[in-house]
Amino acid sequence: MDKTETITRPSPSKLEVNTLEPYWMPFTGNRHFKRNPRLLASAAGMYYTSDDGRKILDGCAGLWCVNAGHGRREITEAIQRQASELDYAPSFQMGHPLAFELAARLTATLPGDLDHVFYCNSGSEAVDTALKIALAYHQAKGDFRRTRLIGRERAYHGVGFGGISVGGITYNRRAYAAALLPQVDHLPHTHDLAKNAFSRGQPGHGAHFADALEQLCALHGADTIAAVIVEPVAGSTGVLVPPQGYLEKLRQICDKHGILLIFDEVITGFGRLGAPFAAEYFGVLPDLMSVAKGLTNAAVPMGAVFARKPVYDAFMQGPENAIELFHGYTYSGHPLACAAALATLEIHRREGLAERAKSIAGYWEDAIHSLKDARHVIDLRNLGIIGAIELAPRPGQPGARAFETFLECFGRGLLIRVTGDTIALSPPLIVEKAEIDRMAETIRAVLATVS
């Protein structure tokens, strides 16, 4: 701001409420959007309603988060009750009952000895929290050399500096390269179109990609590595399903060298794969797990990190009144978020949403792979209730074909998500077969019209 500029009252035109201009939208082409706005006014079950009254089938559970479907009355009422009873309670040196109740309920559903919960407000915060816990864990054990973090190419771990440092999406890192965390290295991604195109479920080829961790151990010294973080299924970079045996191998190598393994389950948690968590689906237990999104069915922002007992126990030393971990958020364990999460867990339990996802996953797989002969399609991938349709990029215009497909699908009443030239689908777990059919039919028809 010019130093001579004084703050004046906004002019009447600035108070105009019907303008789209002041909102700087995230991960959006602002100028394009504001010329062609797509506004969602309400939602129920599997559908959004746009501001012009059209019903939009939700093919992505919002942003991979509304796993139980939209507008769940139990969640809304729990939030309303909680807001009128206790709007906020500080989370430093204080607590409120729901935060403890939720932690107890969550840990009862978690695999193995993942038995402690640290609250935050988003997936990005959950990732940064997990990375900080991993670094501090080794310090707490007196192992001061373990300061290195290993991420993966094509990984998405949110937008905090920790997350983009271990993440592997060039555009998300480029402008901030000067401020990325030091001492970070990356595993190769596992996407191998030449060998694995059109795999159903986990591809058979590629467990060897995990061997790169041994090479990084040799390069840096295994005893300098604090943690490895991976998404069990990479979502935001176009749904990369782990090859058979890959995650198991990562776990073995981490165990061999005393390295913590972090699963970022922000999208795979809460039933998405047909099991409560990917850790169970794959039978691989991480030391730390980051979650968000489906935790509250997205009705109130919330994230969390789950920690195994030895990790938590390592911090519980020294004087009892000393703070063990110098980390936390004003809204850690916010009462409204806890109420929403408890109501969400109850819906999952009562409706068996993970089992439902499992039972419909075969139908989903068939529907995704029915698009093999659709125009532009060069690969199809699926796991649980996740699907990916990779398109050949238009020469010289990467992403353009998929973006036009997204716009046209929206025009025809279907919300899909595109990343690069891949369409990613992840509907609420309450999706019916007829809705799955409609998604496949709409996408096929749109691809036939997109150049």
Ligand X SMILES: Cc1ncc(COP(=O)(O)O)c(C=O)c1O
**With binding defined as CB under 6 A, does residue 123 bind ligand X?**
yes
Mention every residue, 6+ apart, whose C-beta is less than 8 A from residue 87.
335, 336
Ramachandran quadrant class, 300 (left: phi over 0; alpha: psi -120 to 50; beta: rest): beta
**With binding defined as CB under 6 A, does residue 246 bind ligand X?**
no
Q: Candidates 88-96, 261-269, 323-331, 363-371 — which segment interacts with ligand X by CB under 6 A?
A: 261-269
**With binding defined as CB under 6 A, does residue 124 bind ligand X?**
yes
Write phi, then psi, for 148 (nearest 5 degrees). Answer: -100, 145
**With binding defined as CB under 6 A, does residue 266 bind ligand X?**
yes
**With binding defined as CB under 6 A, does residue 98 bind ligand X?**
no
Coil, helix or strand for 438?
A: helix
**With binding defined as CB under 6 A, does residue 295 bind ligand X?**
no
- When computed from its CA atoms, the radius of gyration of the chain, rounded to whole angstroms, is 22
CB 154 within 8 A of CB 237: yes
Residues in binding contact with ligand X, number by CB under 6 A: 14
Among 236, 344, 405, 426, binds ligand X (CB under 6 A): 236
Measured from the CB atom, is 172 or 442 closer to ligand X?
172
Among 148, 157, 186, 438, binds ligand X (CB under 6 A): 157
Produce one character per residue of 60-77: b if its CB has 16 or more CB atoms within 10 Å, e if not. Answer: bbbebbbbbbbebebbee
311's tokens:
């990790």
Measured from the CB atom, is 122 or 196 closer to ligand X?
122
Q: How far is the CB of 432 from ligand X (least distance, A)?
A: 25
Among 150, 292, 338, 440, binds ligand X (CB under 6 A): 292
**With binding defined as CB under 6 A, does residue 156 bind ligand X?**
yes
**With binding defined as CB under 6 A, does residue 235 bind ligand X?**
yes
**With binding defined as CB under 6 A, does residue 122 bind ligand X?**
yes
Q: What sign has the CA pseudo-torsion 334, 48, 171, 185?
A: positive
Q: How far is the CB of 441 from ligand X (least distance, A)?
A: 27
Residue facing ligand X at closest CB distance: 123
**With binding defined as CB under 6 A, does residue 231 bind ligand X?**
yes
**With binding defined as CB under 6 A, does residue 267 bind ligand X?**
yes
CB atoms within 10 A of CB 20: 12
**With binding defined as CB under 6 A, does residue 253 bind ligand X?**
no
How far is CA 78 from each of CA 92, 207, 299, 337, 338, rounded to the nearest angstrom? 24, 44, 11, 10, 9
Q: Candidates 119-127, 270-278, 311-319, 337-345 — which segment interacts with ligand X by CB under 6 A?
A: 119-127
Mention every residue, 6+ apart, whose C-beta is less than 8 A from residue 170.
none
Residues that bind ligand X (CB under 6 A): 122-124, 127, 156-158, 231, 235-236, 264, 266-267, 292
